[in-house]
A = this chain, B = another copy of it.
Amino acid sequence: MIKVLTEDQMTLQIIKVLKEGKKKEFQAILEELQPYDIARIFEGLPEKHHTRFLLLLDSEQIAELIQEVEKVHQLKILSKLGIEKSGHVMDLMDNDDLASLLEDLSPGKIEELLSGMKQEESKIVQNIMNYPPETAGRIMTNRFVWIPQHYSVRESVEKLKIFAEFSETINYLYVIDNDKKLVGVVSYRDLIINDESEKIQDIMYSRVISVSAYEDQEEVARVIERYDFLAIPVVEKNNELLGIVTVDDIIDVVIKEANEDIEKLSASGKAIDFDTKAHVAAYRRLPWLILLLFIGLVSGTIISGFEETLSKVVALAFFMPMIAGMTGNTGTQSLAVVVRGLITSDTDKGVVTRLIIRELKVGLIIGITCGILISIIAYVWQGNPVLGLVVGSSLVMTLIIGTLAGTIIPLILYKFNIDPAVASGPLITTLNDILSLLIYFGMATMFISKLM
């Protein structure tokens, strides 16, 4: 119940048992653990123990293990097993997990690995891989139990007993007609609480909500989240049942999509985690930074256009970072609200109009508050009321424009089916930088005679 040993102690004990080659004791330790924990220990072991570790497992255990380890370990394990054993292990893996293992490999390598599998299993995996990435078809599994509608409860239970090992741990049975079309669903609980002689078609729920195999995985997650489902059936256009997507995969989708939003909003580069190598991380982050370098030079060019104004009143430079920074930040704030809001809200014209008007009002309130504040500070600091007025009124304008830019740009991108998060924080920030400099120095140039 309570794990008394720490992971380190467990690892030491396993190394000891492995060295002595005691299969029974090894299996006794594993029985105490969940697949996730076994995988963590396996990954933590020095590489030299891996082969012996695998030798003491049966195919089913390896299939469970391989689904829980990092991709790099997955490929190492398969190549250690050899074609025949690895084929056997792959037969036992969930098809969606296997498909995501294979997707980044070369066609030749994929063919080599698939050749060791049963033909029917390998065909199913290849089918899954034909769907576009990030769709329902790609994350569905065929490890579920379907029954014809004319079955009785007793017949269904018999079938369930036969496929007990085979079905994922969800509690629905999907019901199909003679054309393999999805016509209903019954829960395991329905089987328990109904009489054995009842016909499935009389007790099934026939208004099944399903998704198309080509549906975006984010949309699938939204449906499951809304209806609190544990799984959702995936169908062809003609409503033929293809597979199911389970809630555990959906949690992974939700986490992944949230991480992608954060990556894009912060332009932190795709898929960098703690284990990414330095040169890879740098390579992924550089394109953005170099783009930003050139955009930054645009700001510089604008300032150089106002060189005369600036050389006459150097004090103007003191307020430059504040104005540019605040405009950038207010834009990022709006952007984050819009990007996350689009995930959970429907968007019709009414919602969008209301949102833009709302953000306009927010910009007004924020702009006027901060504008008055900075006017007073600038006047007191530099003793020049005109400077205070120029700084303050610039800030009012830039904050309103910044707020609207942070709202409208992602909405336009969304309208054109571009992920709004690509209008990432830094891009909005830099755009707002440029706008704010133009407004600020424009105002200053207009009032230059009174500023000096």
Interface: A430 (CB within 8 A): yes
User: Which residue among A261, A323, A365 has the maximum number of chain B CB atoms within 10 Å of its CB?
Assistant: A365
Interface: A105 (CB within 8 A): no
**Other-chain contact of A351, B274, B322, B437 (Cβ < 8 Å):** B274
Is there an interface contact between A326 and B255, defined as CB atoms closer than 8 Å? no
Interface: A192 (CB within 8 A): yes
A332 to B297 Cα, complex, angstroms = 20
Is there an interface contact between B377 and A297, defined as CB atoms closer than 8 Å? yes
A388 to chain B: closest CB distance in Å? 13
Is there an interface contact between A289 and B366, defined as CB atoms closer than 8 Å? yes
Binds B, one of A9-17, A82-90, A106-114, A156-164: A156-164
Main secondary structure of the interface of A (DSSP, over half): helix
User: Which residue among A250, A285, A333, A429 has the maximum number of chain B CB atoms within 10 Å of its CB?
Assistant: A333
Closest B residue to A167 by CB, please name it. B189
Interface: A413 (CB within 8 A): no
Given contacts A285-B330, A340-B259, contact A317 B310 (CB under 8 A): yes
Which residues of B have CB within 8 Å of A57?
none
Which residues of B have CB within 8 Å of A355?
274
Interface: A418 (CB within 8 A): no
Interface: A226 (CB within 8 A): yes
Is there an interface contact between B266 and A336, defined as CB atoms closer than 8 Å? yes
Is there an interface contact between A361 and B1, defined as CB atoms closer than 8 Å? no
Given contacts A171-B188, A326-B289, contact A160 B193 (CB under 8 A): yes
Q: Classify chain A's interface size.
A: 35 or more
Sorted nearest first, the 8 A-B pairs with minimum C-beta distance are A296-B322, A258-B258, A278-B361, A171-B171, A266-B336, A300-B318, A228-B248, A282-B365
A11 to chain B: closest CB distance in Å? 14
A144 to chain B: closest CB distance in Å? 12
Given contacts A160-B193, A193-B160, contact A262 B259 (CB under 8 A): no
| Copies of this chain, whole number | 2
A53 to chain B: closest CB distance in Å? 20
Which residues of B have CB within 8 Å of A373?
290, 293
Is there an interface contact between B319 and A207, defined as CB atoms closer than 8 Å? no
**Other-chain contact of A266, B187, B265, B285, B297 (Cβ < 8 Å):** B265
A275 to chain B: closest CB distance in Å? 8
Which residues of B have CB within 8 Å of A325?
292, 296, 299, 426, 429-430, 433
Interface: A321 (CB within 8 A): yes
A252 to chain B: closest CB distance in Å? 7
Interface: A329 (CB within 8 A): yes
Interface: A438 (CB within 8 A): no
**Other-chain contact of A303, B268, B321, B351, B377 (Cβ < 8 Å):** B321
User: Which residue among A170, A301, A362 has the maximum number of chain B CB atoms within 10 Å of its CB?
Assistant: A362
**Other-chain contact of A281, B188, B307, B362, B369 (Cβ < 8 Å):** B362
